[in-house]
Amino acid sequence: MGWLSSHLEVLSMSTNALDGVLPTELGVLQKLKILDLDSNQFRGAIPSEIGRLGMLEHIGISENIIEKSIPSELGWLLNLTNLGLFENNLTGQLPSELGLLTGLTNLQAHSNNLEGSLPSSLGSISSLSTLDLHGNALTGKIFSEIGNFRSVTFMYLYDNAMSGSIPTEIGLMDKVSFIGCENNLLTGAVPSELGRLRELRYLHLSGNQLMSTIPSELGNLTSLKYLFLARNNLSGTIPTELGLLTDLRYLDLGGGTSYYDDLTGSVPSELCAISDLSIRIRCDRIECDCGCQCS
């Protein structure tokens, strides 16, 4: 290990069916910048010794069988830009020390068994572009520091158990293109501040417990292509302003027997006039004259 520990900069061994536990000796590779072990069969824990690798820029340990918690020592890796830990068996909470990684652009830890609340310290990562934590067991609220995510383009928090209201600060994420928060336990209103997100193309809030009208400000989202608000507890009528979304291709306002949504009235003619738009509604509650799908 002598020569390797002082010279090796790239360790790339992805997609090789390698197994066993990750050795603690990885911590001696002081020059290492890229650690790519994706798509193998490694098991056990992530060695905390990796936190000693101060030059590390990329960690890829996704699609393995890694268990236990994410070591807080990863917060020491101040040069890290990419942290990929998805599709493992990780448990425990996201360490608050990850908020020290102020140069991080991609944080992907989806499809694990992570639990607890999102640490508000993540709001300190102003460089973050992708935040993907879907398919875990996360609880607690979406922190108001989300408004600091001015560079985030993809935010996926769906298929968790997060609760509380969507913070109005979400309207400050002015570069975001994709927001997926479906299938949680979110309550309160659909924030009108979402209407500020002019780059937004995909908004999925279905399968929560949101209780409000559909804000007319969503009509400002002129880049929006997909809008999912189904299976909530929404009320009122469909705002005519949604007819301004001329790029919209799919609108889902459907429901189910276990949801108490009380949307009424009819689909506005302005929506019906949008070409190539598919609309899904509860036909027992809402009238439609343009071939809507019934849920």
Average pLDDT of span 171-187: 98
Average pLDDT of span 202-231: 97
Rounded CA separation 114/109 (Å): 9
Degrees, nearest 5: CA angle 170-175-177: 85
Amino acid at 190: V
> Residues 119, 94: contact at Cβ < 8 Å?
yes
HSE on the CB side for 206, CA within 13 Å? 16
> Residues 134, 160: contact at Cβ < 8 Å?
yes
DSSP assignment of 61-79 equals --SSEE-SPPPGGGGG-TT
pLDDT interval class at 255 (50, 70, 90): confident
Q: What is the pLDDT of residue 258?
A: 53
Question: Which tens digits make up the pLDDT trace of 83-114?
Answer: 999 999 999 999 999 999 999 999 999 999 99
> Residues 221, 194: contact at Cβ < 8 Å?
yes
Rounded CA separation 26/6 (Å): 12
Confidence check: pLDDT of 3 > 90: no
**Kind of pairing between the strands at 41-44 and 65-66:** parallel
Rounded CA separation 178/230 (Å): 17
Homologous superfamily (CATH) of 2-220 is: Ribonuclease Inhibitor (3.80.10.10)
Q: What is the pLDDT of residue 259?
A: 55
With tokens 């501040």, the residue in question is: 193
Average pLDDT of span 171-198: 98
Contacts of residue 85, Cβ cutoff 8 Å, sequence gap at least 6: 46, 59, 61, 62, 66, 70, 108, 109, 112
What's the burial of 214, exposed, middle or buried (CB within 10 Å: 0-12/13-18/19+)? buried
Q: What is the CA radius of gyration of the chain?
A: 22
Average pLDDT of span 200-228: 97
Rounded CA separation 133/240 (Å): 34
Rounded CA separation 205/27 (Å): 42
Least confident of 18-22, 76-80, 126-130, 251-255: 251-255
Q: What is the pLDDT of residue 62?
A: 98
> What SS3 state is found at 58?
strand
Confidence check: pLDDT of 4 > 90: no
**Alpha-carbon separation of residue 172 from 33, 152, 195, 255, 290 (angstroms):** 33, 11, 10, 30, 35
pLDDT interval class at 190 (50, 70, 90): very high
What does pLDDT average to over the chain? 95
Q: Where are the domains of the chain?
A: 2-220
Instruction: Return the percentage of the chain with pLDDT > 70, whole number.
Output: 97
With tokens 């609760």, the residue in question is: 163
